[in-house]
Structure 1
Amino acid sequence: MKHIEYYFLFFALLAEVIGTVGGFGSSVFFVPIANFYFDFQTVLGITAMFHVVSNLSKIALFKKGIDKNLILYIGVPAVLFVILGGFVSKLLNTRFLEIILGVFLVLLSLLFLIKKNLIVKPHKKEAIIGGTLSGFIAGILGTGGAIRGLTMAAFNLEKNVFIATSAVIDFGVDFSRTIVYYINGYITMEILIYIPFLVVIGIAGTYLGKLLLTKISQDNFKKFSLFLILIIGIITIIKTLSH
């Protein structure tokens, strides 16, 4: 294994820790990191497989906080539309979609950061829309957790409920798209070499993230999540336009 590949694994660990603390998963950081080392279709495959392990770790550590209603109204649409997005990913140029994603994340995160008392009730309509968008974008771009994070942050959930519920939904999404990406030919031997390392990183990163969460208040947790999403949106726009 080349030296630079160890840097990739190190950054993958950081992405997992931050994704756990943020509550919306590591893919929003992992995808742009992996994109420096692999082609985009390979990035989709390795991200999906990594997240399957990562989310199993989160479910085990945060299982007491699972909200079954949100799993139904956010998770089911997310799984259905990630399958559709996964097949569509083979047909589309993702550059334009990445710009749309970046702008969307910036505007929505700024809205909730500025309007601090703005709380969206966990109604079925909002949950279904959020699940649909996050699933479809995840299928196409490899990351939809930030959109789901925005939806769940708007519901003002307690942090353990936020992370546990998000992990269950994400597991269904990633397991489904792993199958689609395999059919598409995105999962190759090049990816499989990394899987043992990413299994360890997924477990260790989740555990370290949980330790950090004990030091963060509920208000700071929500602010941290939204700031991370804002940064992700800005980086996504800059990176896409620079290409």
Structure 2
Amino acid sequence: MVSFEAARALWMRADERRRWIGDDHGDPYETALITQRVSVEMQISLKELLEHLRSALDYSARAVCAACAPLTGKEKIYFPIAQPSARAEDFRGLVGKNMPGVIQARPELIAILASFQAFHGPQNLWLSDLATLANVAKHEYLEVNESAEVPHEITLIGPNAYMSKTHSGDIRMDGRGLTVLRSDPSRSDGVGRMGFLCLQPVRRELLSFLRDAMPQTLRIVEELEIALLDA
């Protein structure tokens, strides 16, 4: 279907921006950490990435609706995204509002759509984060944050390989992000400063979010297309 093809094309555009942001030495992400400044180009690249992901989901929702009933072109169709505090029993109403015709023609899709939502499990919190970020009416999402005091432990796990455990306060970070840890040699209590890029509207480390949002968005597009083909 054309809409699913467009959804995958949008995802690929988002992936181009993700690869530009990078997650390794010499990439714009590390440059921002070292200089403690997020460039305008990086802010705009992230804005484009987020918009492409959200649009990929909306294109998929339109493809589903088109398969359920003829569309006039005037419908307002959006991929339904429930807030983390939403109740599962209320989700059916959100689907009815955002995806006209689905409840009547393909009610079994409600369970599939619900499985992507934050109320289904904490692994889906990225989706409500994406909705929040996509609705922010500015391009300055990112800030270089530096925790004032970060207790940390550095453990040797192999030849020239170390694992660092840190506590980052109220920032959601799962250890998959790229950080700069600056130890304080004058202290002996394992306390230092940790620098990282934070998505301020949702208080989450950037790479941690992208490593959820990128593959999971593509998974949603593919699972919805498969669900229609299996009908």
Compute the TM-score of the two structures, normalised by the length of structure 2. Answer: 0.29
Higher strand share: 2
- Relative contact order: is structure 1 or structure 2 higher (C-alpha 8 Å, sep ≥ 6)? 1
Report which of the two structures shows the higher radius of gyration computed on alpha carbons. 2
Higher helix share: 1
